[in-house]
Amino acid sequence: MSSSFKSPVDTAKAISATAGAKNSANIVNVILLSFLAGAYIAFGGLLAEIASAGMLAAGAPVGLEKFVFGAVFPVGLIIVVLAGSELFTGNVMFMALGVLDGSASVGGLAKNWVLSWVFNFVGALFVAFVLAYMGGLFPAESAFATKATAVATAKVGLAWDQAFIRAIGCNWLVCLAVWLANASDDIIGKIVGIWFPIMAFVTIGFEHSVANMFFIPLGMFLGAKGVTWSTMIMNNLIPVTLGNIVGGAIFVACIYWYTYLKE
């Protein structure tokens, strides 16, 4: 009787094999799939802001509002994994483990990380500006606009060390979600494996670089005070990207490579 999931060792081997495929992937394909991944994560962020807008003003407990925000956000990563695309935060784990296991090169890792980060940004910006802002989903003075500007303002207002530390926790959980999805061999198992860790990181309030490529620009387009391209990059994207690398590469890729694949 065949099992519907892989053992941890077999999952690690599958992650390494995927890293090898990513290492030799066509650059145009990586660019297009990275654009899609940025857009998919932005869809999750867009849904989260719409679903939770106005809850606090209506008297909902803050924990419940955070949970609703976190409960719908995982749609983005579910599409990323099941439809196939190149997400920077997941690629941190794939490529780091691949380099350690010999299935990927340092040059391949650098190419993959840079291309996926840049074009995730392009995809997230497209959703933020064209679909959300130009589409009129956040009318001025509405609960939706209030929510979007509050999220953006809070993110650029974090201390550098807080943003960095929250980003470690984020990508630790994101990469575990991708790991669980790879462990399952059926689509429902993959969805469940993704949903719990992603719901957890968003509800907790950890920081995801690609999600912030949507949240912060949208707030800026809507006139959030103190939110500029400069504050977004310096106060948030730099520390969050670095923290995401630590969370995914050290706490998932390195430890699982050492325990399951190291000769």
Judging by beta carbons within 10 Å of its beta carbon (0-12, 13-18, 19+), is residue 134 exposed, middle or buried?
A: exposed
Q: Would you state the pLDDT for residue 263?
A: 81
Contact 182, 11 (CB under 8 A): yes
Gap between the Cα atoms of 119 and 39, Å rounded: 10
Per-run averaged pLDDT (10 residues), the chain, 263 residues = 84 98 97 98 98 95 97 98 97 98 98 98 98 97 96 98 98 98 96 98 98 98 96 98 98 98 89
- Rounded Cα distance between 98 and 193, Å, is 22
So what's the pLDDT on residue 251? 98
Contact (CB, 8 A) for 192 and 77: no
Domains identified in the chain and CATH numbers: 8-261 (1.20.1080.10)
pTM reported for the whole predicted model: 0.96
Return the half-sphere exposure (C-beta side, CA atoms, 13 A cut-off) of residue 16: 19
pLDDT given at position 15: 98
